[in-house]
Structures are given as C-alpha cells and as structure tokens.
Chain A
Amino acid sequence: MEQAYGILLTGTVIVLGLLVIVSIVRSVLGPTIADRIIAVNMTGTLIISIIAVLSVFLDENYLVDVCLIYAMISFLGVVVLCKVYTGVYLQRKQMRADLRAVEDNLSRQGVTETEEDPGRKDISEEENDGSLMSEEGEK
C-alpha cells in the first residue's frame, strides 16, 4: 500500500514538473506581455500543487503553510506586474500624444524645423512598429 501511494505521488510530481517546463517555455516565447504574465501565474499554480503533493509524500506537514504563503505572494506579484505595465503603457502613450500635439502645432504655424545634431536620435523618429509594449517585451 505504501508503495502504491509512492508510485502515484511520484508520477504526479513528474507530470506536473514537465508542465512547469512547458509553462516556462511559453513565458519565454509569448509575444505580448500578457502572455508572459499568464504563463508565470500558471507556473506558480503548478508549483503550489507540487509543494502540496510533496508535503503528503514526505509526510511533512509544514509544507502546506509554504503553499499558502506562496499562493498569496504569487497573487500579489501578478497584481503588481499588471499595475506596473499598465502604467508604463499609459505613460508612453501620453508622451507620444504630447509629442504629436507639439508637432501638430508647429506644422500649423509653418515653422521650419532647425537642423538637429545628426548623432542624436530623436524620440519622435525612433523606429517602432506601432506597438507601445514591444520595447518592454524585448527585455
């Protein structure tokens, strides 16, 4: 009977570990930032179930407390990440809207642009593919 439980729980841990690898691969591949946050959240959930299974397998009952604390911290981490990236996106959008407003005003008044220093890259001319989150996504 003990062997049966051992095989069952070991098999569960092995399968969940493979799913963790799959989630980590998705967190590296995912094109947008939301894909990566979803994959990290899912990795946390799988890790929590692995810790719970190990607490029964090793017969150590303090690992369930570790589960609970890890669940809270991963939830907090996801909330903070979402807030930060939403703020980054909105700030960048605001900055570009300001620049476009200034350029629009200048073009209405017919002001010719002065020669800039050719070595300095202007923020309004930087190359982008239209996505405000792509620079974050490449980091």
Chain B
Amino acid sequence: MILSWVRFAAAAGFLLLGLLVMIAAAFGVNRFRRALNRMHAAALGDTLGILFVLAGLMVIRGFSMDTLKLFLVIAFFWVASPVSGHMISRLEAMTDEDLGELTVIQKETGRIGPGMGPEREGPGAEKAKALVSERKGGTENESI
C-alpha cells in the first residue's frame, strides 16, 4: 500500500522535473538570438529532459522488458544526440557570414566595446560612471 504511493511520488517527481527541463529547453531555444546559443538550449532537452521523463516512466513500469527498452532509448539518445549537435554546430559555423561578432560590455564604464559596430554608451552608463568615480579601480571586461 505504502509502496504504491512511494512509486507514484517518485514517478510524479521525475516527470515534473523532466517537464521543467523540457520547458526550459524550449524557452531557451526561442529566447536566444544566435543559432549556436540555441544549440546549447536544445541539447538540454535532448539529454536531461529525456532522462527524467523516461526515468519516471521506468519507475511506473517496474522491472520488466519495457523498462529495458526505455533504458535502451535513453542510451541511444545519449550517444547520438552529441553527434547530431556537433554536426549542426559545424554547419552553422561554416555558413554563418558574421560569426565573429561578439559583444563586449565593459562592466565598470558601461561602454559597449568592439565587435558590434562603433563604440557607444550602454544603457547603464551614467550609473556605472558614478560608481567608477566613487571608487578607484581598473576597468574590467565582461564578455557576453
């Protein structure tokens, strides 16, 4: 009696975690702007999302042939998904014309540095300059 509730709780936990990871992956794919960043978010769903969802299903099924087959699906995904992700990233790196455009924002002064057009002041420039004048420190580059 208590075992069935424990099984239900474990399966519900795994499935909800898997859903959260999948939602994070789909959200990340839509929010990032560059294809290489989207690849990171999509790989999140391919590995951890599939693991948690199928682990929850394995807990529901118990020890049987279906559990072994679900485990085989997980194993195949974990082997094949990095390969396909690498090929997509190579395609993107080969065909993207402006691959080297980086945005470097200097944290102390708030100026947006080279790589993204002429240097300009960022949105928090005045506040950053006030902070710099308060304390004397060198500029620190923070790349995004």
Contact = CB atoms under 8 A, between A and B. Distances in A.
Instruction: Check if A and B associate.
Output: yes
Contact of B73 (A34, A35, A64): A64
A67 B76 CA distance: 11
A49 B22 contact: yes
A78 B84 contact: yes
Interface of B: 4, 8, 11-12, 15, 18-19, 22-23, 25-26, 29-30, 35, 38-39, 42, 45-46, 49-50, 53-54, 57, 60-61, 65-66, 69-70, 72-73, 76-77, 80-81, 83-84, 87-92, 94-97
B8 A68 contact: no
**Size class of the contact patch on chain A:** 35 or more
A41 B46 contact: yes
Contacts, number: 145
Contact of A45 (B35, B50, B72, B97): B50
B46 A56 contact: no
B80 A75 contact: yes
Contact of B83 (A48, A55, A79): A79
A32 B35 CA distance: 8
A94 to B, nearest CB: 13
- Determine which residue in B15, B92, B95 has the highest number of CB atoms from chain A within 10 A of its CB, and name it: B95
